[in-house]
Structure 1
Amino acid sequence: MQARGTRPWLWAILNLPFGATSGFVAVMLGFILKKQGMGDDVIASLVALNLLPHTWKVLWAPIADSTLTRKRWYVLSNVASCATILALAFVPITRGNLTIIEVLVFANSVAITLVGMAVEGLMAHATPPEERGRAAGWFQAGNVGGAGLGGGLGLFLAEQISSEVAFMVLAGILLACTLALRAVPEAARIPEAPAAVEHHTPHWLARIVEVFKEVWAMLRSRRGVVAIALVFLPIGSAAAAGIFAGQIATDWHASANLVATTSGVAAGVAATVGCLFGGWMSDRLGRRRAYMLSGLGLAAVAVAMSLAPKTAVTYAIFTLGYQAAGGVAYGAFTGFVLEVIGTGAAATKYNALASLSNIPITYMTKVLGWASTAYGPVVMLHVDAGSEVAGIALFMLIVLIVKPDREPVPAAADAAST
């Protein structure tokens, strides 16, 4: 029997700061700005600014893979992130201070990308193949749970006490996540090529060269080709979640409070449970199979919602069910990516695939928004379900053409080695 790896729930703790950033910017900070009389355009601009580094983070991922150790990167970047959150406690949230707030939010976002890269590198090296699904599920649970912590808890403290206290408490909690590093082994450094050593190439440059070699080797492999195809397909995009507050809420007679609840804390809980289940599926059924099943789950929820009576109760049930199914997809997708990237330059390889995976979310959100406006929410749900089924069919065709190595079922392989 293979030795057990690092306890999977540690990845949720370490990844909590990554998710918390999106939560406190979009929910807590957005609420405070609105309360100060600023419009949605200001809030949207701040959210977009927070997302900007995540769009381009693959460009500096090789630095995280090839210079300091992963643990040092985590400590430095999490301290920097918490420092920016703490700094917000001393900046009055007013229109006159918007530039300072924008600088702090952007700096926090850059720092938090490095936190994520450090966790991805540590997780890829410390997790045995048979536990990658569970690790992936907990990793994404930390992301989703962190968003709830940063948004939900932050907003609660801001309303009940003050925004200053909210920022201070969040900074303290997220800084404490660093303590989980003590229970996680350090990842191995990327070795330098013998030719680089012979020619006295600087260590950092030699390691960056090796990083790009690893990424190229991954992309040109059969598994890499399948992975690239998968990240462009709409499987598991869960894009309808971004439209549930629109016309569909009106047609299903959902109140503003119900929409807020089902898209807030309750959605976070549902998605977190889904992430853990998706990771479990990935270990039990195999990475590709689990991800395809998660897409079918989303399609089933969308179809069921379109056929159910249009009431507030069914709105709550199916929107939360959709959030849970989306969580399953996130957990299964991360398990699939961990299987493809292996070890080595894990942060660069992970972010190369994760960045591309935002493309189907973007185009499906636009398609579903158009379908809902032009033909109504019911047709939109059918389009969403149809895209999942079509994506799965196309993915199966690609697998038949490319013929990657037969995917082992991790749980079965583990049982055989016992």
Structure 2
Amino acid sequence: MIESEAAVPAATTEERWSWPPLFGLLEVPFGAAVGFLQTAVPYWLSKDGMPLADIGLLSGTAFSPHAWKLLWVPLIDLGPWRRVWYGVSTLLTAVLLLACALLPEPAQHLGLYTLLLTALQAAATTAHAALNGLMAITTRLEDKGRAGGWQMAGNVGATALLGALAIWLASTFSREVTGVVLATLVLVSGAGIFWISERQDEKSAAPASLLRATWERVKGIVQDLFRTAFSRDGVIMLVLCLMPVSCGALTNLFSAMSGEYKASESTVQLVNGLGMGISGALGSLLGGWLSDRINRKLNYALMGVATGLCALAMAAAPMTETTYIWGILAYSFANGAGFAAFAGMVLEMVRSGAAVTTKYTLFVAASNFAISYATALDGQASSFRGLGARASVGFDGLITFAGIAGMGLLFLLFLRKKPQPAAAT
């Protein structure tokens, strides 16, 4: 999705290109892992009596690998082994999902539970990064946008639907059954990787010692990454990604708030599953459509405004099931639009080079770090004057507008006048 502007090597005879809808299927393992932690885990822990503040801290910690995956993602760019990275990481995702579901009384074993959930997210996000790289190099130039759209649909849809499915399976059967079903879905959908043909990079195919080839590849990755990250625009983009402009952090806590809004279990399953999946997908389509028609950074800020307004409106409304329903749907729609706007904004920065996967991951990791700390802060805000979920929702709106204000200040200081390019010599 994000790599849609990456350069594609010249086609050779009998070139095999990937079918764009396949990336929607291959994104299901990532959605299963994220949906499990985003929807099912907070709901179960709240039912077990854990305070919202502690749930927010656990969620923020377990989601942190999405931020610091940059430490190992460059390894994926070292050679034509992205399919292997995806396959192994997907297998680990299935195993860890099963382990998390089989752990008895997780509220009584928070240390181990947090460790397992964190490892689960690390495995899933590694597979996700490998898939991004595969999408960049195995789809035709004219199919880049369509491939990204299918991947986003798989991401948003699987996250919402499988998170709700986990709650339904646990309430109807058991959490153990939930783990078996989700692990099976991960393995079945991940098997689609066998229909991806990863082309070999010409440089890595050239006869050379393994050590020299690896060194040249590492050098190219580092040079390309630093050239982008330490440029003026790269630093500004990193700062933007670290701001809580359109994090959508409340999506990690909504299921845990159901009790305070007096929402029934069926409502939680329907709204956090099918409802969020549809509203988030529609919002993504709108955000992507706008990204092609207005300034992408402005679009990102506007979607942040929409997200913040939804949070503040929900915080001001009565604590009823009706508020829970429309609040989540509106927030999810705005958050989907913000996600698409973010993708469009990053596309302006990511270009061809040796570090395609790594550069994309750099900006996404910064954004995911913002999501992690915003989730933890939203959870901690619930203890403010005993306001509970209302305080968390209101704080999310306030911190979003604080991020937008920071973005506006950054624009006034650095983006209003771009430096003139140096004259050619």
8 Å CA contact 2:312, 2:394 repeated in 1:
no
- How far apart, CA to CA, are the structure 2 residues paired with 1:102 and 1:307? 33
Q: What are the ranges of 5 or more consecutive residues in structure 2 without an aligned counterpart?
A: 1-7, 12-16
Distance verdict in 2 for CA 1:137–1:286, change over 3 Å: farther
Distance verdict in 2 for CA 1:349–1:389, change over 3 Å: closer
- How far apart, CA to CA, are the structure 2 residues paired with 1:143 and 1:312? 27
- Counterpart of 1:82 in structure 2 is 94
- Counterpart of 1:271 in structure 2 is 280
* 2:229 is the alignment partner of 1:219: yes
What SS does the aligned partner of 2:33 have? helix
- Counterpart of 1:204 in structure 2 is 214
Q: Equivalent of 2:188, from 166, 169, 176?
A: 176
- Counterpart of 1:163 in structure 2 is 175
1:257-314 per-residue CA deviation (whole Å, 9 max, x = no partner) reads 3884686223343223323332333345464343233223324545665787887545
Percent of counterpart pairs with the same letter?
A: 30
What SS does the aligned partner of 1:341 have? coil
8 Å CA contact 1:49, 1:105 repeated in 2:
no
1:43-64 per-residue CA deviation (whole Å, 9 max, x = no partner) reads 7786566434334211111111
- Counterpart of 2:335 in structure 1 is 326
Pairs within 5 Å for 1:247-286: 254-257=261-264, 260=268, 264-265=272-273, 266-285=275-294
- How far apart, CA to CA, are the structure 2 residues paired with 1:306 and 1:43? 19
What SS does the aligned partner of 2:349 have? helix
Q: Displacement of 1:172 after TM fit? A: 1.9
Q: Give, as a single letter, the amino acid of the residue that structure 2 aligns with 1:93.
A: P
Aligned pair count reads 396
Q: Displacement of 1:325 after TM fit? A: 0.4
Q: Equivalent of 1:390, from 405, 408, 411?
A: 405
* 2:156 is the alignment partner of 1:144: yes
Distance verdict in 2 for CA 1:14–1:283, change over 3 Å: farther
Instruction: Tell me whether 70-79 or 340-349 shows the greater mean CA deviation.
Output: 340-349
What SS does the aligned partner of 1:323 have? helix
1:118-168 per-residue CA deviation (whole Å, 9 max, x = no partner) reads 111122334567765654454343333332344221232233234333322
8 Å CA contact 2:85, 2:127 repeated in 1:
yes
Pairs within 5 Å for 1:15-414: 15-25=27-37, 27-28=39-40, 47=59, 50-86=62-98, 91=102, 93-94=104-105, 105-126=117-138, 135-181=147-193, 184-186=196-198, 189=201, 191=203, 201-239=211-249, 254-257=261-264, 260=268, 264-265=272-273, 266-285=275-294, 287-302=296-311, 313-314=322-323, 316-343=325-352, 344-361=354-371, 366=377, 373=384, 380=395, 383-384=398-399, 386-387=401-402, 389-397=404-412, 398-403=414-419
8 Å CA contact 1:49, 1:106 repeated in 2:
yes
Q: Give, as a single letter, the amino acid of the residue that structure 2 aligns with 1:330.
A: F
1:364-417 per-residue CA deviation (whole Å, 9 max, x = no partner) reads 563896599479869757735643652452353332244599xxxxxxxxxxxx
Instruction: Tell me whether 215-224 or 141-150 shows the greater mean CA deviation.
Output: 141-150
- Counterpart of 2:3 in structure 1 is none
What SS does the aligned partner of 2:104 have? coil
TM-score norm. by structure 2 comes to: 0.73
1:1-54 per-residue CA deviation (whole Å, 9 max, x = no partner) reads x99x8555433322221121132245445666777x685699778656643433
Q: Give, as a single letter, the amino acid of the residue that structure 2 aligns with 1:292.
A: A
1:219-277 per-residue CA deviation (whole Å, 9 max, x = no partner) reads 13344233223213332233465676899996xxx423388468622334322332333
1:85-131 per-residue CA deviation (whole Å, 9 max, x = no partner) reads 35667x56257988876665454333223201111112233456776
C-alpha root-mean-square deviation of aligned residues, in Å? 4.5
- How far apart, CA to CA, are the structure 2 residues paired with 1:303 and 1:39? 25
Distance verdict in 2 for CA 1:137–1:233, change over 3 Å: farther
Q: Which structure is higher in RCO with an 8 Å CA cutoff and minimum separation 6? A: 2
TM-score norm. by structure 1 comes to: 0.74
- How far apart, CA to CA, are the structure 1 residues paired with 2:378 and 2:59? 22
Q: What are the ranges of 5 or more consecutive residues in structure 1 without an aligned counterpart?
A: 406-418
- How far apart, CA to CA, are the structure 2 residues paired with 1:206 and 1:7? 32
Instruction: Tell me whether 103-112 or 50-59 shows the greater mean CA deviation.
Output: 103-112
- How far apart, CA to CA, are the structure 1 residues paired with 2:397 and 2:126? 39
Q: Give, as a single letter, the amino acid of the residue that structure 2 aligns with 1:327.
A: G
Instruction: Tell me whether 224-233 or 169-178 shows the greater mean CA deviation.
Output: 224-233
- How far apart, CA to CA, are the structure 2 residues paired with 1:249 and 1:161? 22
Q: Give, as a single letter, the amino acid of the residue that structure 2 aligns with 1:256.
A: A
